Structure 1
Amino acid sequence: MPVSPAVPSYASGISAAPLLGDTIGDNLDRTVAAHGDRDALVECATERRWTYRELAADVDALALGLLDAGIGKGDRVGIWAPNCAEWTLTQYATAKIGAILVNINPAYRSHELEFVLNQAGVTMLVAAESFKTSDYAAMIEQVRPKCAELRHVVLLGHDAWNSLLDKGKQGDAAASAERLAEKRAGLSADDPINIQYTSGTTGFPKGATLSHHNILNNGYFVGELCNYTEADRVCIPVPFYHCFGMVMGNLACTSHGSTMVIPAPAFDPKASLAAVAAERCTSLYGVPTMFIAELAEPTFGDYDLSTLRTGIMAGSPCPVEVMKQVIDRMGMAEVSICYGMTETSPVSTQTRADDSVQRRVSTVGRVGPHLEVKVVDPETGLTVPRGQTGELCTRGYSVMLGYWNQPDKTDEAIDRARWMHTGDLAVMDDEGYVNITGRIKDMVIRGGENLYPREIEEFLYTHPDILDAQVIGVPDTKYGEELMAWVRMREGAEPLTEETVRAFCEGRLARYKIPRYVHVVEEFPMTVTGKVRKVEMREKSIDLLGLSAAANTEHA
C-alpha cells in the first residue's frame, strides 16, 4: 500500500481583519478622532496623564519642533532613556514626520553608545540626563567628538527638550496642521521608521530596520488576539527600547484606543503591582523573570488585581509552573504567550484566549494572522514533518526590511524566499501549535547525545525549593560537554547541591540528562529585556569549575 506523505510543519495565519495600510501617524489620528477624551497615557511615577486628544497635541508639537530643528524624513533620531512619557511622545512624533527612531539600550555604556550612534548615523540624540548609576550626559560628551553626524543632543527636562515642545506649540494652529499634513502626504507605510539593535551575544549588535507596516500591524494583531478595546488599560513594565514595550505595548494600545500605563522607569515588582491596582489595569506584561518577582513579592496579597483578565508573557521561554501561577494567583485567565524576535516586529506566534490552559502553559501558540511559519531541517533547509524538531522560520508582513547598512548579515538571516531564520529549535504539533525547545546554539551535545536545556529546566521548575533554573553546557574532556544547572532558591530554602539535585532527578530523568554541576545564585546575568545571558554563564562557569583546559581541548 502507498504510504501517506507526512504532514509538513507549515502553517499560515488567517484573519477576518485585513492588514492595516496606515502609517503610524495616520493610525494614531484615527484613534484620536474616535476616542479623544479617553485616557491614552498614564505615568505613575510622576502622576501625569494624557487623554488621546492631549497626547496627540503634544505629539504634534514635538513633531513640529523636530522639523524646526532640521529633522526630516529618513533622518535618524536616537532615544536613550528608561520608560517615560517622553519616550512615547518621541516614538509617535518621529513617526509623524518620517524620521527613523533608533532605540538605544538603557544599559549601554560609552563604547556601545558610540558604535550605535555611528552605525545608524544618528543626527539627533534624545536622552535622559542620568538613570540609576549611569551618567548618560557624561557618556554622551565623551563620545560626541567621535560621532560626526550627531548634530543635536537633547536632554529630557532641559531647555533643549522644552524648546522643542514650545516651538511646536507656537504659531498659527491651522498652518501647523497643514505643515504636518504635507509631511505625512510624503510618507509610505513601507518606509523604514525604527532601528532596534539586537542584543548580540558576540561581536557588535545588528540594527534590525522596521517599517510602519511591520510594527503597526504587529502591535495591532497582538492586541486583536488579546481582545483589546478602548476599555482596556495595559500595564507596561517592559522596556520601550525593545519591541515588547513600544510595539506590543504602545502600538497595541494606540491602535485600539486602549490606555498605556507606565508603572515605573524600570521594572519594579511593587510598582507594577501597585499600578495594576491603582489604575485598574486589565492587562499586565512581563518576561518570565518579572512575573516570578511579582509572585514572590512579600506584599503580593496586599494588591487588588481583580481587574486583570489578560496580559502577555514573552521575551524568553515561559516556565510552565510560573504560567500556572499567573493564571491562578493573578487572575489572568486569558493571559497570552507570545513568541518572536526583534527582526519579526516581533511576534510570530501567540496563544489565544480560548486556548485550553494546557495549550497556554506548554506551547507558544499558533501562527499570527497574515503570517507563515515552518520548521525546517537546519542542515538541508527542508520542511520537517509535524512532531519533528527543526529550526523555526517566519515569513510575512512582520519580517524586517533588513539590518541597517549590513546587507551581508541580512542575507544570512533572510533567505531568497523571504523566510526569516530564527535560530530557534521548535516542534509543531498536528494542530499547528508550536513549542520552542531551545536555541540551535544552546543545544548541548554530550557524548553524541543532543540535549535541550529547555526540557531539563522545565523539570527542575517542579522542585518545590527552586524559584528559577537555567541549564547550560560546560566543557568536558570525556564527553565534550556536560550539563550544569544554575538555580535560584525560594526564600528560606536550603541551597541545593549536585547530590540533592541528582536524588531529585533519579528515576524521573534519563541519567544523561541529569546536571553534573549545580550552582546556586541570587540572580542570573541578564539583558535589559529579561533574557538570560547563557554565554556569560558559560564563561563564568568555566572559571568557577576550573575547566579552562577542557575548554581549550581541540575537537574534530
Structure 2
Amino acid sequence: MTFSPHDLLPAELRRSWVADGTCPGLDLYSLFRARQIADLHHTAVLDAKGKLCYTALDRKVRCLATGLRDLGVREGDVVGVQLPDNRNAVIADLALAALGAVALPFPAGRGPLEAESLLRRAEAVAVIAAIEYRGSHHAADLHALSPGLPALRDVVAVGPGTAPEGTTAWSDLMRADAGDFVPARPDPDSAARILVSSGSEAEPKMIAYSHNALAGGRGNFLASLIPDGKPPRCLFLVPLASAFGSNGTAVTLARHGGTLVLLDHFSPEAALAAMREHEPTHVLGVPTAVRMMLERPAAESEPLPPPTALVLGGAPLDETTALAAAEVFGCPVVNLYGSADGVNCHTGLGGTVPPTSASGVVAGRPDPRVAEIRIAAPVTHEHLPDGQIGEIVSRGPMTPLCYVAAPDLDALYRTPDGWVRTGDLGYLDADGVLHVVGRLKDIVIRGGANISPAEVERELRSHPQVRDVVCVGVPDPLMGERLAACVVARGPGVPTLDILGEHLTARGLERRKHPERLLVVESVPLTPAGKPDRAALKERLAESPRQAQHGVPGAHRTP
C-alpha cells in the first residue's frame, strides 16, 4: 500500500537546498553505495558479533531487499522494524531504502498495544521483529495482532530462535539470490522513514521524513561536529529506532561513511567498555545515561580514550553533569536541543562545556543548514524580536514532511508556511544564541500557578546528595497538582524535602516551586527510546502514596 505523505514545506524551498548543496539530492541507499564503493572494506558496524565492513553489509542488504521484494514489498510501502541495536537493524534500514520503501522503526521493548497503533495508522504492509528480546516476544505478539491489521501481510521473525508459526524467518530471506536485484531510485524528497515520538498525545506521534531531510538536514548537524572531516565512529547510547537514533544509518553511514558502534542494550558498564575497546569519535546519548556512567568506578580509574565530542540530547542537560562529563571523558560536551518533530540546535565544539545563562545550559546557535529557528507568539505566530520569550518554531532542510495519518497534528504543530511549532518556550539573545526556558505543556499547575519541572530539576542536580532527579506533577484534590521530586541519591545519605528545599531557596528558587513530595529511587527508569520514563514514575507515586509522602522524614509538605 503506497504511502504518499504531503509536504507542508513549499516545494521551491526544498529545491533550493538541493541546488545550493545543502542537501545531497540522492536517496539514502545511493549515498550508502557511494560510500561503499569509495572504501570497500571500511568498517560499517561494530556490535556484539564483531566487525562488519561496508561491502559485507551491502551484500546482506541486497539479499534482504531481494527477499522482501519477493514477499511483495514495493516502493512506497511502509514496513515496521522492531529490532535491538545490532547489525540486523542496520541491514533492515538499508534494505528498505534500497527498495524505496518507508521504514517505521520503533524500539525493541515497546509493547504490542503501541506497536498495533503505529502499524495500523501507518498502514504498514509488513513488520520485521525480534523473536525474543529481554523477555519480550515481539514477532509472535505482532503476528497475533495481524488479524486486526488489514494492511499487514507479513511478519518477518529475526532470530536467534525459531520463527513462530505463521511468520517468515529472516534467515530464509537472507538466503535470497540478489544477483538480479536492481535498487529503486526514489525521489530524494519523498518519504524514507517515519520517526516516532511519544509526545503528549494519546497515541505516539508519527512524523514522515524524506531522504534529503535525513541525509541533508540531519547530516549537516553531525557534519558540524566533525572538525577534521574524517568518517566518524559513533557510539549510540540511544536506540537506532528513536528520533535521536535516526542519526545512525542515514547520517553516520550513508551521509558520512562512518562506523556505528552498537549495544544491544544500554548499561553503563557496557557503554564504558565500548568506549575503551572501540575508541569512538562521538558518543551520543541522554544525560541520564551519562550520569549512570559517571557513577561507575571504571569511569574514574584509568583515563578513557577521549572522543571528539560527547553529544547529549533528549532531555535537559544541567551544568553539574556537563562539568563532570567533560572532566571524566576528556572531551567537549555538546548540548543538543532537538526533537522528532523537526528542530535541532546545539552548542558545538567551541568550548569544553556548553555555556550557561540564568535559564540553565543554552541550546546553542541555530544552523540554517540544519534548521532555522525563530521565536513566535504562541497564538498569532507573529515573529518576536530578540530577547522576547515566545514559542520556539523551526524550519529548514531537516524539517519533516508532515505527521502521519494525523491532519489534526498538522494543524496544531505546523504553521501554514511550514514552520514547526515545538511547544517549547525560549528566546534568542543579541548574539543569536537560543535559550530554552520551559514548555507550553510541560508545566505543573499548582493552585493556578505554573511550575516548570525542568527548572527545578536543574537546580536540584547541583545538590551534593542528588545524583539524578526527575520532577513530575501528581494530582491533588486541594491544589490540583503538586510537584514530586523522584531522586537518585548520591552516597549513603538520603536527602529530605527540607534539605532540598533549603538548597532551592539558596539557589534563588521561590518557595512555591519547591517539591512537596519525594520519592527516592535506585535509578531513573528509562523508556525504550532511552528517555526518563515520567509515566512510570507517576505510577510509582500513585501506587505508593504513603511511601512517597511519609517514607522519608520531611517528605510531605502542607500547602
Q: Which residue of 1 aligns with 2:393?
A: 393
Q: Which residue of 2 aligns with 1:354?
A: 350
CA distance in 1, matches of 2:473, 2:116: 33
Q: AA paired with 2:80?
A: G
Of residues 434-443 and 153-162 in structure 1, the stretch that sits farther from structure 2 once superposed is 153-162
- The C-alpha deviation readout for 1:153-191, integer Å capped at 9, x for no partner, is 21113573122222144x4xxx43xx22xx22xx10011
Pick closer, same or farther for the CA change 1:37–1:501 going to 2, 3 Å. same
CA distance in 2, matches of 1:400, 1:232: 25
* Percent identity between the two aligned chains: 28
Note if contact 2:139-2:156 (Cα within 8 Å) is conserved in structure 1. Answer: no
Equivalences for residues 65-76 of structure 1 within 5 A? 65-76=67-78
Pick closer, same or farther for the CA change 1:358–1:147 going to 2, 3 Å. closer
CA distance in 1, matches of 2:306, 2:41: 22
Note if contact 2:208-2:403 (Cα within 8 Å) is conserved in structure 1. Answer: yes
Q: AA paired with 1:443?
A: I
Equivalences for residues 215-364 of structure 1 within 5 A? 215-227=214-226, 229-247=229-247, 251-262=251-262, 264-302=263-301, 305-333=304-332, 335-344=333-342, 347-355=343-351, 357-359=353-355, 362-364=361-363
CA distance in 1, matches of 2:302, 2:71: 46
Note if contact 2:288-2:524 (Cα within 8 Å) is conserved in structure 1. Answer: no
Q: Which residue of 1 aligns with 2:173?
A: 164
CA RMSD of aligned residues (A): 2.5
Pick closer, same or farther for the CA change 1:166–1:249 going to 2, 3 Å. closer
User: Which of 37, 55, 59 in structure 2 is aligned with 1:53?
Assistant: 55
Pick closer, same or farther for the CA change 1:17–1:328 going to 2, 3 Å. farther
Q: Which residue of 1 aligns with 2:379?
A: 379
CA distance in 2, matches of 1:292, 1:537: 18
How far residue 242 of structure 1 moved from its aligned partner, in angstroms, is 0.9
- The C-alpha deviation readout for 1:427-486, integer Å capped at 9, x for no partner, is 322212222222211223445544322222111111111011222334556655443322
CA distance in 2, matches of 1:447, 1:223: 44
How far residue 320 of structure 1 moved from its aligned partner, in angstroms, is 1.5
How far residue 73 of structure 1 moved from its aligned partner, in angstroms, is 0.5
SS in 2 for 1:79: strand
How far residue 422 of structure 1 moved from its aligned partner, in angstroms, is 0.8
CA distance in 1, matches of 2:253, 2:335: 18
Equivalences for residues 66-145 of structure 1 within 5 A? 66-145=68-147
CA distance in 1, matches of 2:151, 2:67: 19
CA distance in 2, matches of 1:380, 1:445: 24
Pick closer, same or farther for the CA change 1:98–1:309 going to 2, 3 Å. same
- The C-alpha deviation readout for 1:46-70, integer Å capped at 9, x for no partner, is 22x2222222222222222222222
How far residue 89 of structure 1 moved from its aligned partner, in angstroms, is 0.7
Listed as ranges, the gaps of 5+ residues in structure 2 are: 1-16, 547-559
Pick closer, same or farther for the CA change 1:442–1:243 going to 2, 3 Å. closer
Q: Which residue of 1 aligns with 2:191?
A: 192
Q: Which residue of 2 aligns with 1:34?
A: 38
How far residue 205 of structure 1 moved from its aligned partner, in angstroms, is 1.5
Q: Which residue of 1 aligns with 2:451?
A: 451
How far residue 271 of structure 1 moved from its aligned partner, in angstroms, is 1.2
Q: Which residue of 2 aligns with 1:24?
A: 28
CA distance in 2, matches of 1:253, 1:386: 38
CA distance in 2, matches of 1:144, 1:426: 44
Q: AA paired with 1:308?
A: P
SS in 2 for 1:274: helix
Pick closer, same or farther for the CA change 1:137–1:476 going to 2, 3 Å. closer
CA distance in 2, matches of 1:386, 1:541: 41
Pick closer, same or farther for the CA change 1:404–1:315 going to 2, 3 Å. same
SS in 1 for 2:257: coil
Q: Number of paired residues?
A: 516
Per the normalisation by structure 1, the TM-score is: 0.86
Of residues 527-536 and 413-422 in structure 1, the stretch that sits farther from structure 2 once superposed is 527-536
Note if contact 1:391-1:421 (Cα within 8 Å) is conserved in structure 2. Answer: yes
Of residues 14-23 and 89-98 in structure 1, the stretch that sits farther from structure 2 once superposed is 14-23
Pick closer, same or farther for the CA change 1:119–1:434 going to 2, 3 Å. same
CA distance in 2, matches of 1:248, 1:141: 28
SS in 2 for 1:101: strand
Q: AA paired with 1:342?
A: A
Q: AA paired with 2:323?
A: K
CA distance in 1, matches of 2:177, 2:347: 42
SS in 1 for 2:300: helix
- The C-alpha deviation readout for 1:211-268, integer Å capped at 9, x for no partner, is 1111111331122111164453211121011122232565234312211111x21111
Equivalences for residues 349-498 of structure 1 within 5 A? 349-355=345-351, 357-359=353-355, 362-370=361-369, 371-446=371-446, 449-475=449-475, 480-492=480-492, 494-498=493-497
SS in 1 for 2:432: coil
Equivalences for residues 531-546 of structure 1 within 5 A? 531-534=531-534, 537-538=537-538, 540-541=540-541, 544-545=544-545
Of residues 303-312 and 140-149 in structure 1, the stretch that sits farther from structure 2 once superposed is 303-312
- The C-alpha deviation readout for 1:340-372, integer Å capped at 9, x for no partner, is 11121xx52122112463427821212123321
Of residues 387-396 and 360-369 in structure 1, the stretch that sits farther from structure 2 once superposed is 360-369
Note if contact 2:226-2:232 (Cα within 8 Å) is conserved in structure 1. Answer: no
CA distance in 2, matches of 1:339, 1:358: 12
